């Protein structure tokens, strides 16, 4: 399935809200990605994503509409040689091999464009699909922090996967 990784646009609001408003997506995200996902949430996101480090926040577009998002977030201070990777995809497109391609493109982009040596992601312990994506893309499990996440009334493990610049 074909997709485009591109900068966010204010005109993405309608399809962003339509595809982000899904409890099956939100359950694997921080509480900064709420459910329900409203027009107000979308407006706030787009305002930030189109102005602050816009090249680091990308829209996944499929068939002319927002199907997800991905980003690479540079770290500061003593973590300045690291970047955190994040992503989500509309449930409609799960299982089509899109996310591994997105992750691979972002890893390549990150190492080419930033002075970093490590890119990491922190999937929840109850998200084996995301773990498989990261492993397919060369990420290694560096840590499992037991019951460190409290989401939807339950404690979950935090996993830390990373890939290093060769």
The pLDDT, as a whole number, for residue 84 is 97
**How many folded domains does the chain comprise?**
1
Range of the domain at 99: 4-164
What's the burial of 130, exposed, middle or buried (CB within 10 Å: 0-12/13-18/19+)? buried
Q: Is the model's pLDDT at 160 over the cut of 90? A: yes
Cβ neighbour number for residue 145 with a 10 Å cutoff: 13
68-80 pLDDT, tens digit each: 999 999 999 999 9
Coil, strand or helix: which one is 40? helix
What average pLDDT does this structure show over 147-164?
98
The pLDDT, as a whole number, for residue 87 is 98
Give residue 123's pLDDT band: very low, low, confident or very high (50, 70, 90): very high
What average pLDDT does this structure show over 22-40?
97
45-93 pLDDT, tens digit each: 999 999 876 678 999 999 999 999 999 999 999 999 999 999 999 999 9
Residue 66, CA atoms < 13 Å, CB-side half-sphere: 25
What average pLDDT does this structure show over 121-130?
98
98-110 pLDDT, tens digit each: 999 999 999 999 9
The pLDDT, as a whole number, for residue 54 is 64
Coil, strand or helix: which one is 110? helix
Residue 112, domain CATH? 3.40.630.30
The pLDDT, as a whole number, for residue 52 is 73
Mean pLDDT of the chain: 96
């Amino acid at each position: 399935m074909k997709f485009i990784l591109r900068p966010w646009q204010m005109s993405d609001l309608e399809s962003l809200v339509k595809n982000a408003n899904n409890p099956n997506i939100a359950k694997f995200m921080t509480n900064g990605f709420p459910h329900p996902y409203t027009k107000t949430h979308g407006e706030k996101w787009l305002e930030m994503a189109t102005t602050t480090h816009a090249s680091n926040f990308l829209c996944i577009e499929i068939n002319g509409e927002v199907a997800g998002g991905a980003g690479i977030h540079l770290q500061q201070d003593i973590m300045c040689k690291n970047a955190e990777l994040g992503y989500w995809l509309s449930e409609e497109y799960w299982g089509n091999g899109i996310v591994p391609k997105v992750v691979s493109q972002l890893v390549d982009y990150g190492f080419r464009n930033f002075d970093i040596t490590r890119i990491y992601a922190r999937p929840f312990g109850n998200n084996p699909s995301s773990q498989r994506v990261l492993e397919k893309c060369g990420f290694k499990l560096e840590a499992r922090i037991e019951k460190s996440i409290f989401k939807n009334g339950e404690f979950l493990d935090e996993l830390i996967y990373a890939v290093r610049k060769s």
